[in-house]
């Protein structure tokens, strides 16, 4: 029985910053951001969008009545959780009207959370082939104004419906994993901004990729020849380019040409959204599927997931016939095109704006936010989620 991704929904907030203008404001050559880092635009989350609302907005794009009745597990991968105790998945379950006889919980391991959710979903569908699992990766990447990590911020969510007989990507059962306790990137409980050892994090990413890629090849006897494309966790698009380059050094000209061509197609969305942490690998996959040419059914795609701290995993899947028909390419394109550019002054002025943490009430204006689900404010330490 094939199990894998049946539907993919993507949500990113309606405002963004232009990277050239950000570079100018920081007195940096814009080419450092657009070429050196490889980013053109950076999504910004208004206060009315958090990990829960973005996850619900991504999921609402794909769920129909049949799915709402068949989903019995809701898994939210996030490192931008809004509560130490209650999982955001319970709110997502409610806001998307999924039937009640379901499990809902959150998974955390930096950017790896959604991949953990997919692997858990694979096991659940193996045992319950007539059910479906909603897996969402939803995050806000925030490092701080004038920090080295600033050009690698972003915000968004990718929702994946996992089922038997999937219509987009059947996931192969074998994958290669690696865990090692390192401090390349972390966010202490008292901070809303990530701490990072930038250069070390880049090295760790490549090291983990090479390890799991080697292990995967040994386990499966597959090589680059077996892959139509490789997808990467993308904190910024230059990072995946470096990882791809590391395995292309000894590749044939044919493999190099094919994998580099598909890499360009796969980074279109990430270039204009930024790092969405748990959703970043799946945004890379979505971009390949929606912005690339239609690939033959059975084409194998490799996926490298990396969550700082750190866990890496390489797994793969095969494309299903007519997968393009399952995609929301027009809707996603419209969402991205309709975004409003913030001036650097607007971005900076709103950067530290936050909900009160003393139990007082703050109401937010949902009319300024086109998202169907939004945060209407906070009262008595309880977030007020609304659906239009
Ligand atoms: P930096 O020190 O500002 O940048 O930090 P740099 O000096 O290393 O320059 C970056 C690149 O721009 C270099 O290219 C420069 O040569 C080039 P490279 O050597 O890397 O190929 N450059 C230029 N190119 C063209 N024209 C110019 C120019 N000037 C310089 N004029 C860094 C960059 C990414 C480290 C920083 O932004 C950062 O710390 N970001 C956050 C950490 C991060 O994203 N790490 C990635 C791996 S870890 C990961 O992926 C996990 C993560 O998603 C978190 C999670 O798991 O939850 C982050």
Query: For residue 10, what is the domain's CATH number?
Result: 3.40.47.10
Ligand 1 centroid to residue 37 C-alpha, Å: 6
- Which residue in 334, 370, 270 sits closest to 13, CA to CA? 370
pLDDT score, position 231: 98
* Active site (catalytic) residues: 79, 111, 233
Could you tell me if the CB of 32 is within 6 A of ligand 1?
yes
- pTM for this entry: 0.98
Alpha-carbon gap, residue 34 to 260, rounded angstroms: 18
Could you tell me if the CB of 110 is within 6 A of ligand 1?
yes
- pLDDT tens for 252-296 read 999 999 999 999 999 999 999 999 999 999 999 999 999 999 999
Closest ligand 1 atom, CA of 112?
56
- pLDDT tens for 81-117 read 999 999 999 999 999 999 999 999 999 999 999 999 9
- pLDDT tens for 135-151 read 999 999 999 999 999 99
Q: How confident is the model at residue 339 (pLDDT cuts 50, 70, 90)?
A: very high
- pLDDT tens for 193-247 read 999 999 999 999 999 999 999 999 999 999 999 999 999 999 999 999 999 999 9
Q: Which of 32, 116, 204 to mutate to test the pocket of ligand 1 (most atoms within 8 A of CB)?
A: 32
- pLDDT tens for 350-371 read 999 999 999 999 999 999 999 9
Residue range 175-197: average pLDDT? 97
Could you tell me if the CB of 277 is within 6 A of ligand 1?
yes
Could you tell me if the CB of 121 is within 6 A of ligand 1?
no
pLDDT score, position 209: 98
Residue whose CA is closest, atom 2 of ligand 1?
Answer: 148
Q: Which domain holds residue 16?
A: 3-387
Q: Which of 202, 231, 306 to mutate to test the pocket of ligand 1 (most atoms within 8 A of CB)?
A: 202
pLDDT score, position 308: 98
Could you tell me if the CB of 79 is within 6 A of ligand 1?
yes
Closest ligand 1 atom, CA of 151?
37
Closest ligand 1 atom, CA of 30?
31
pLDDT score, position 44: 98
Residue whose CA is closest, atom 41 of ligand 1?
Answer: 149
Q: Which of 191, 198, 245, 309 to mutate to test the pocket of ligand 1 (most atoms within 8 A of CB)?
A: 198
Q: How many structural domains are present in the chain?
A: 1
Ligand 1 centroid to residue 213 C-alpha, Å: 23
Average pLDDT, the chain: 98
pLDDT score, position 358: 96
Residue whose CA is closest, atom 5 of ligand 1?
Answer: 148
């Amino acid at each position: 029985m094939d199990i894998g991704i049946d539907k993919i929904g993507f949500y990113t907030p309606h405002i963004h910053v232009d990277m050239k203008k950000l570079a100018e404001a920081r007195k940096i050559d814009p080419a450092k951001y657009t070429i050196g880092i490889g980013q053109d635009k950076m999504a910004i989350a208004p206060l009315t969008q958090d990990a829960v609302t973005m996850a619900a907005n991504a999921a609402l794009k794909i769920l129909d009545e049949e799915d709402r009745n068949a989903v019995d597990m809701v898994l939210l991968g996030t490192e931008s959780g809004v509560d130490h105790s209650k999982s955001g998945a319970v709110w997502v379950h409610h806001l998307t009207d999924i039937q009640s006889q379901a499990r809902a919980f959150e998974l955390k391991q930096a950017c790896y959370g959604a991949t953990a959710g997919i692997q858990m979903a694979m096991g659940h569908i193996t045992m319950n082939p007539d059910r479906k699992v909603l897996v969402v990766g939803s995050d806000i990447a925030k490092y701080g104004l004038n920090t080295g990590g600033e050009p690698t911020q972003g915000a968004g969510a990718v929702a994946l419906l996992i089922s038997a007989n999937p219509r987009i990507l059947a996931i192969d059962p074998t994958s290669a994993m690696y865990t090692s306790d390192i401090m390349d990137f972390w966010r202490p409980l008292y901070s809303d901004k990530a701490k990072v050892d930038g250069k070390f994090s880049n090295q760790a990413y490549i090291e983990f990729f090479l390890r799991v890629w080697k292990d995967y090849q040994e386990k499966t006897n597959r090589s680059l020849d077996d892959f139509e494309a490789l997808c990467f966790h993308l904190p910024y698009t230059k990072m995946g380019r470096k990882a791809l380059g590391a395995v292309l050094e000894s590749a044939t000209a044919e493999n190099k040409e094919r994998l580099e061509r598909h890499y360009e197609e796969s980074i279109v969305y990430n270039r204009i959204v930024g790092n969405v942490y748990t959703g970043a690998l799946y945004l890379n996959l979505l971009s390949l599927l929606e912005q690339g040419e239609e690939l033959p059914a059975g084409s194998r795609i490799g996926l490298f997931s990396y969550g700082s701290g750190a866990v890496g995993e390489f797994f793969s899947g095969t494309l299903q016939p007519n997968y393009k028909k399952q995609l929301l390419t027009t809707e996603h394109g419209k969402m991205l095109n309709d975004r409003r550019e913030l001036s650097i002054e607007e971005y900076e002025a709103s950067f530290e704006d936050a909900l009160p943490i003393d139990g007082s009430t703050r109401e937010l204006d949902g009319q300024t936010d086109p998202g169907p689900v939004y945060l209407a404010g906070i009262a008595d330490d309880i977030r007020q989620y609304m659906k239009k």
